[in-house]
Amino acid sequence: MKRSPCILTLLLLVCCFAAAYGQGSAVPRGKLLAESADPEGFRWAVTDAGEILRSADGAGWTVLDFNEKYAGYYPRMDFRAVAAGGGSVMVAGLDADGHLAVYTSSRGTVWSPRNLEYSEAGERQVLDVLPCSLSYDPLRDSFFLCGTRGTLFEMPGCSHCNRLTRYPADTLYARVASGWTAVLLGSGGFCSTEP
């Protein structure tokens, strides 16, 4: 009989913890690596286990196991970055072979791969870097991916209009929009503004 209070307490803790992630959803298995909020108030997060989390209030979360849902269609993912805005949400990470992959969705239920092609010196290339962050700039109506090799990759609504810019930093960590300009932060103390 002395065990009953301990078991009851443990059961209550487990139920409360699971309820914090939304009704009927699993508790995330992976390590949380990035979080973003969109203008409509939804919060998004991603894990290194290929999970995409969504919340309407920051308290109750639903968990989408991307790797399970898209098994056989898309490669397994280790997500590293997420951003939301302009009626879309975008996630970026590494596939099972260690290559960059980006997916986008309008509501977070159906995900599609994003084209990562760009033109450099008149030739078509495909971006393949380690992603550090994603951000959305409402004035440019574009998503921006920052990554290794000083990469700033702009992804506007037109999936064939991607634009790559490289900055003198081993890694570009973040692009923070500030009115009509943006602040870029990178390794080695790199800090610059982008018009």
Multiple choice CATH, 3-194, 2.60.40.420, 3.40.190.10, 2.120.10.30, 2.60.120.1440: 2.120.10.30
> What stretches of 48-162 adopt beta strand conformation (E)?
51-55, 61-65, 77-85, 88-95, 100-105, 112-113, 117-120, 123-126, 131-137, 142-147, 151-156
Sheet holding 172-178, edge to edge: 172-178, 181-186, 191-194
Q: Which of 13-17, 90-94, 136-140 has the lowest mean pLDDT?
A: 13-17
Q: Which of 37-51, 91-105, 141-155, 160-174 has the lowest mean pLDDT?
A: 37-51
Q: pLDDT category, 104, cuts 50, 70, 90?
A: very high
Percent of the chain with pLDDT over 70: 87
Q: Kind of pairing, strands 191-194 and 181-186?
A: antiparallel
CA distances (Å), origin 128, targets 50, 93, 94, 106, 172: 18, 10, 9, 24, 14
What are the boundaries of each domain within the chain?
A: 3-194
Residue-level pLDDT at 26: 62
- The Cβ-side half-sphere exposure at 188, using a 13 Å CA radius, reads 11
Q: pLDDT category, 120, cuts 50, 70, 90?
A: confident
pLDDT tens-digit map of 128-147 = 999 999 999 999 999 999 99
